[in-house]
Structure 1
Amino acid sequence: MAKKLHMSALAGIVLLAGVMATPVKAFEPTVDTAILVDAETGRILYELNAEQALPPASMTKMMSEYLILEAVNEGQISWDDQVEVNEFLAGLSQDRALSNVMMRSDQTYSVKELYESVAIYSANAATMALADHIAGSEGAFVELMNERGEELGLGTPLRTGGAEAGMDNLDAIAEQNLGTFQYVNSTGLPNRLLNGSHPEGTNEEDDNYMSAKATATLAYHLINNYPEVLDTASIPEKIFREGTTDAITMQNWNWMLPGTQYGDLDYEYVDGLKTGFTNTAGYTFTGTGEKEGERLITVVMGADSEAHRFNETERLLEWGFGRYYEEEIFPANMTLDSYETLAVDKGEEDTVTLATSDAFSELITEGEEEMFSYSVELNQELLNEEGQIEAPVEEGQVIGQMIVEFTGEEQPSYLPGLENTSNSVDIVTTSSVERAGWFSLTMRNIGDFFSGLWGSVTDTVRGWL
């Protein structure tokens, strides 16, 4: 167990000149469901109906992208692997009513080029081909999607079998509170559009569901675990199968990216992440952008047009960048009250000095910079019964944590599972202490013996008097 001491050590940090000079008004959304999140800590900066499960459309593909990148990073597949395409997927890829790149059953395609078609152009048949390649079938891939969703903290999956349970009724989903996400295929299309070839284990009338909070949680883990996703998601345009009769220019559906053909909608700070549209879902978008080192994540669901979802995203980002800023609350190498030193057993020195390893910074709004305190937790496994650490002690050795707490009235909220992941800083030794030699330890033991003996004699004599 860790030793814990609460302290009223409030930070007295002076605001940078000019920061937040003009108050920012409360955000007024024009959609029914939205969320804004700090991409570093997972702190929720704004949310509206963020836990209501809704069809996400192609934002579902973010989970497919996560599993693709996971499989590549773990060596399960490689970018150069050649993927075969069956007759069904070859036929589906020619459906121009859906977002697709042309594929043929007598050709193979690299994982890399199919992944790019998914991340840039939201290609549906290509997504399904990669699902088959990774898991053996799309049904098995869907099982992985739901399993990983739970592991990442997206929530509790909704029941599958929507047709039988009436789960195509959004009001029923909200009233029964069955969960915050459900994957029934790898693309985000309603199963009914797959011409009876929906994944095994699902029904023809099933659809995918994610709440805005679940979607933001997925985006958070995708960006932080596999930041290379933005290298591809930020490409405004690329040609698939360039130089062949099947070549197609993949214009990124994210029109906020600088360099797309819709220049009036671009926003210089945006570099991802995933759009979506179905008749049931409306226009959806998970956006992310970075300004002056601060990255935010947005989710907008149920917009009524392409422009609406992008305009609302820009408004959310502008509001977030204008209201919140990162501030150093506690500096690095800070000496902690009552923990300036730690007693050392069997060392050439009796104590070792302590300090924090890094600065603690937080995304805050004006007036919050002094609303923080800290407590100290030492690793008891490193200490003896007297609270000493045994020599030798190396400089930079981690011996505990400084736990930072927000003391304001309105406690910040975080994405699921991220509540306590960024509120601590290591406490380390700032010097080294060598272990005392055999002779020194022997003399200390002799001294301790006679000191103890003399104390015992003194107590006895006092008892006689």
Structure 2
Amino acid sequence: MLALALALPATVPARAFADVRGADEILGVTVEARGLPAAACPNVTAAYALVMTEDGEVLFSRDGLAQTHIASITKVMTAIVALDAGVALDSTVTVSQEAAQVGESSANLWAGDTLTLEAAVTGLMVSSGNDAAIAIADTLGEAMKTDEGQTANEAFVAAMNAKAAELGMTETLFANPHGLDIGQYDNEMYSCARDVALMCAYAMKNETFRSIVAKESAQITVKRADGKPVVIDLESTDKLLGTYEGACGVKTGYTEAAGNSFAGACDRGDGMLFAIVLGSPSEDARFEDAKALFDWVYNNRVSYALAHSPATVASAAQGGAEVPLVAQVSHQAWPGRTVAATFADPKAAVEVFAPEGNVSQEIVANELTGAVAAGDVVGMANFYQGNELIASQNLVACEDAPAPSIFEGVAIWWNRLWGNDEPAPTVIVNETPLIYSKSPSREDQKSIAAIAAGIDDEPAPAASESGEDGSAADGSNQ
């Protein structure tokens, strides 16, 4: 990596390769083992990072199982337990003196306030209210107590840890419902990027939770101790909402021990992604890190065209239209004769995730001995990324090829007895351009990806008739 960095032009912006580590994992394999250039990897400044699909596939991980503090990201689990408790959203939550005085990030609740559970969860998630977290735990925890000596808050936290175990969050321990880790709240607590992703993926399946964390701002109504209703304006701490395409939640976090952290969700209509960054060096850096992870995934979802031929041919099976020449398939019955073939669907493409590796093809031609009509299947092409089959296409003839007459067949047979008139070999013309090269340049990677997607400004030459043309800074826990 050092040699690569030294080789980069001085004009490359400082952040271009800000922090790419050989031990970072892409689909479970380290960057170093994959031999990927830095330009092909996400660069994030966070100490711990991970990006995961909604199906649980981890695309990128940096120390994803390392235990660390997660500050207010804890509140995602508080919301999960509250919404899974089976309590009506319009049920009443009461704000205790402890809740009102907890300090740090707040939903501006006062002791004696009452509000609906939905409003409390909104204050919890939108403005990262520590007061709302304790109010929820105190209220709902009463029904969760398992013995007389247990407080409502303790019972609620026990339910949080039970839910974490249920979700497979093996590296997680919660000690309170808000994530503060100083003073009276300085107890053993931890989680990891992988567990946070699992937690967020579960939470975002809940429609109420999903609608709340998508809000850039919100209003909640609380009833003060004197019975008067008060409307409280809330602003989200999630700076990606409304500024980054597809951003839809979920939670920020900051304490001195946790650093600047963010668990973000993004959905552009092709499945939700979760980007987890823990321990970023600044408030802005956590959002830049999340964007870098999202961008990396979206930029590496390549629509890979199967036909990449330097030549075209007129296909009688498609009314004389020009199509990519995929192969010249040997016609065994004739000496030196081939049949031009293309794919059954010349425009076929398959979506691939580029870091999984370059695409290879295996084309197997049929043994042609009789008459061939344009459109007949004359072979099969299989495409692989790594060892996985990702696409298949039939090869179809672009032209008619009659079989030899009886007399022609006898003459060919006789000549072959003497070692003459041998069949022409099958020639594969189609190519599989690289998705990634070893080049450290981001521009080179973009160019290669464009070629793989079939974006090529150069017109392809026509095939010859002979078929021989080719192969937060304020200390809060927001």
The one-letter code of the counterpart of 2:123 is S
Per the alignment, residue 7 of structure 1 pairs with none
Code of the residue aligned with 1:82 in structure 2: it is T
Question: How many Å separate the matches in 1 of 2:268 and 2:176?
Answer: 35
Instruction: Please list the CA deviations of residues 150-205 of structure 1 after superposition, one character each: whole Å capped at 9, or x if unmatched.
Output: 110011xxxxxxxxxxxxxxxxxxxxxxxx11100011111x444xxxxxxxxx53
Structure 2 residue matching 1:311: 3-state secondary structure:
helix
**CA distances 1:218-254 after superposition (whole Å, capped 9, x unpaired):** 1122223x24422110111123338978543211000
Query: Within the alignment, does 1:364 sit opposite 2:353 as a pair?
Result: yes
1:129 to 117, 121, 135: 135
User: Secondary structure at 1:209's aligned position in 2?
Assistant: coil
Q: Which residue does the alignment assign to 2:126?
A: 120
**Aligned positions of 1:255-266 closer than 5 A:** 255-258=239-242, 266=243
Change (3 A) 1:410 1:286: farther
RCO comparison, higher one (Cα < 8 Å, 6+)? 1
TM-fit CA distance, 1:268:
2.3
| Aligned residue identity for 2:108 | V
Q: For residues 396-453 of structure 1, what are the alpha-carbon distances to aligned partners after superposition, in whole Å with 9 as ceiling and x for unaligned?
A: xxxxxxxxxx983599xxxxxxxxxxxxxxxxxxxxxxxxxxxxxxxxxxxxxxxxxx
Contact kept in structure 1, 2:357 and 2:385, CA below 8 Å: no
Q: Which amino acid aligns with 2:187?
A: D
Residues 247 and 227 of structure 1, relative CA distance in 2, 3 Å threshold:
closer
Q: CA offsets per residue over residues 41-63 of structure 1, 9 Å max, x none?
A: 21111000111100000001111
Other-structure match for 1:344: none
Give the secondary-structure state (helix, strand or coil) at the position aligned to 1:68.
helix
Instruction: Tell me which of 214, 220, 223 is aligned to 1:240.
Output: 220
How far off is 1:370 after superposition? Answer: 7.7
Q: 1:31 to 1:83 in 2, by over 3 A?
A: closer
Aligned to 2:191: 210
Aligned position for 1:229: 209
Q: Which amino acid aligns with 1:268?
A: E
**Structural mapping, 1:323-402, within 5 Å:** 323-324=300-301, 364-365=353-354
RMSD: 3.2
Task: Give 2:62's aligned residue.
Answer: 48
- What does 1:52-451 align with in structure 2 at a 5 Å threshold? 52-71=66-85, 76-92=86-102, 95=103, 97-105=104-112, 107-136=113-142, 137-155=152-170, 180-190=171-181, 192-194=182-184, 205-224=186-205, 226-241=206-221, 247-258=231-242, 266-324=243-301, 364-365=353-354, 408=386
* Partner SS state of residue 40, structure 2: coil
Structure 2 unmatched runs, 5+: 1-37, 143-151, 305-349, 361-383, 390-478
Cα deviation code 1:36-87 (max 9, x no counterpart): 1111x2111100011110000000111111111212xxxx311111122322
**1:113-172: CA deviation from partner (whole Å, max 9, x where unpaired):** 1111012111112111111222211100111111111110011xxxxxxxxxxxxxxxxx
Bigger mean CA deviation after superposition, 245-254 or 281-290: 245-254
- Whichever of the two has the greater Rg, that structure is 2
Aligned partners of 1:271, 1:87: CA distance in 2, in Å?
A: 33
Question: Following TM superposition, by how much is the alpha carbon of 1:316 offset from its aligned partner in structure 2, in angstroms?
Answer: 0.8
Q: Does the 8 A contact of 2:203 with 2:210 survive in 1?
A: no
1:29–1:250: structure 2 CA closer, same or farther, 3 Å change rule? same
SS in 2 for 1:241: strand
Output the TM-score relative to the length of structure 1: 0.54
Give the drift of 1:25.
1.8
2:356–2:385 Cα contact (<8 Å) kept: no
Q: Provide TM-score, normalisation by structure 2.
A: 0.52
**Number of residues paired by the alignment?**
274
Counterparts of 1:307 and 1:367 in 2: how far apart (Å)? 30
Distance in 1 of aligned mates of 2:215 and 2:359: 41
SS of 2:124's equivalent in the other structure is helix
In 1, Cα distance between equivalents of 2:57 and 2:234: 34
- Cα deviation for residue 278 of structure 1 reads 0.6
Equivalent pair of 2:114/2:222 in contact (CA under 8 Å): no
What residue in structure 2 maps to residue 25 of structure 1? Answer: 40
In structure 1, stretches of 5+ residues that fail to align are 1-22, 156-179, 195-203, 259-265, 328-360, 372-405, 412-465
1:289 is paired with a residue whose SS is strand
> Does structure 1 retain, via aligned residues, the 8 Å contact 2:358–2:385?
no
d(CA) in 2 for partners of 1:308, 1:114 = 29
Match of 1:415 in 2: none
- Assess if the C-alpha contact under 8 Å between 2:43 and 2:289 holds in 1: no
AA partner of residue 35 (structure 1)? L
C-alpha change, 1:325 and 1:133, in structure 2 (3 Å) is farther
Misfit runs of 4+, over 4 Å: 242-247, 366-371
SS in 2 for 1:210: coil
In structure 2, what residue type is equivalent to 1:232? I
Contact 1:36–1:46 (CA under 8 A) maintained in structure 2: yes
